[in-house]
Homo-oligomer: A and B are copies of this chain.
Amino acid sequence: MTYCVGLRLASGLVFMSDTRTNAGVDNISTYRKMHNWTVPGERSITLLSSGNLATTQALVSILDERSKAPGERQPSILAAPSIFQVARLVGDTLRELIRTYSQDGPSGDGQFSATVIVGGQIKGGEPRLFMICPEGNFIEASEDTPFLQIGETKYGRPILVRAFDAKMSFADAIKLLLVSFDSTIKANLSVGLPLDYLVHARDQFEPAFRGRIDRQDRYYKMISDGWGDALKKAFDSLPQFHLKG
């Protein structure tokens, strides 16, 4: 499994992804699931991937190769005129890849399916955030649904629903994501550290902040330990239930 989240804030976009991949529970590895393509001053595009690793690696490699020689290998996400067109391109490529692996040849135990989040900004447009389905179609984050999750989404959702605020700072957004990821990591072996994050600040066409949070990270430990205590205090602060026989 996997856990990736993209947040749509008033001031930009914030992305976080875990790095654990697994085939069963006895074959786990660490892979980066966050990829960024930047043309400084012109566009910044970030992709988070979940699902079959062969499919998502192929997807990223194809997008990457095309972006390196965009003149020869159309269509490139670096030539797309809008983030919407980037999402279409990624969706078409993903759909085509899954179809190719799924038909005819030998079939394995696994599925070739994958789901990705793509977001960013191109000069002249707004920051936009999309979730792309294996079928190639996609949905966009909006004011009403300002965050998108893929992978193992359920454990970490309640805190996002309750504490997300489109006006929060980037630092608070990272803190919120760490709480959401920690709740997931504590409950599900298939989501694991280290975590990658990337901040896209509105109208700044390269990542404003990016980094990796690993097992030794002191801040993550503070959040992970502190959240348990904070939750208990929050729980104690609620009014008492009165039992009636």
- Which A residues are closer than 8 A to B by beta carbons? 154-159, 161-163, 170-172, 174-176, 178-179, 183, 186-187, 199, 208-209, 211, 219, 222-223, 226-228, 230-235, 237-245
Q: Are B230 and A238 in contact (CB under 8 A)?
A: yes
Q: Tell me whether chain A's interface is mostly helix, strand or loop, or mixed.
A: helix
Q: Are A239 and B227 in contact (CB under 8 A)?
A: no
Can you report 10 A-B residue pairs in the complex whose CB atoms are below 8 A from each other?
Answer: A154-B154, A156-B158, A170-B243, A171-B240, A222-B239, A226-B237, A230-B234, A230-B235, A233-B234, A233-B237
In the bound complex, residues from chain B placing their C-beta under 8 Å from that of A241 are 171-172, 174-175, 178, 219
8 extra interface residue pairs, beta carbon distance < 8 Å, beyond A157-B187, A158-B158, A170-B243: A158-B159, A161-B186, A162-B228, A162-B231, A176-B235, A209-B244, A219-B241, A222-B238
Q: Are A243 and B171 in contact (CB under 8 A)?
A: yes
In the bound complex, residues from chain B placing their C-beta under 8 Å from that of A223 are 238-239
For A158, A159, A239, the residue with the greatest tally of chain B CB atoms inside 10 Å of its CB is A158
Question: Which residue on B lies nearest to A222, using beta carbons?
Answer: B239
Contact of A208 among B179, B238, B245 (CB under 8 A): B245
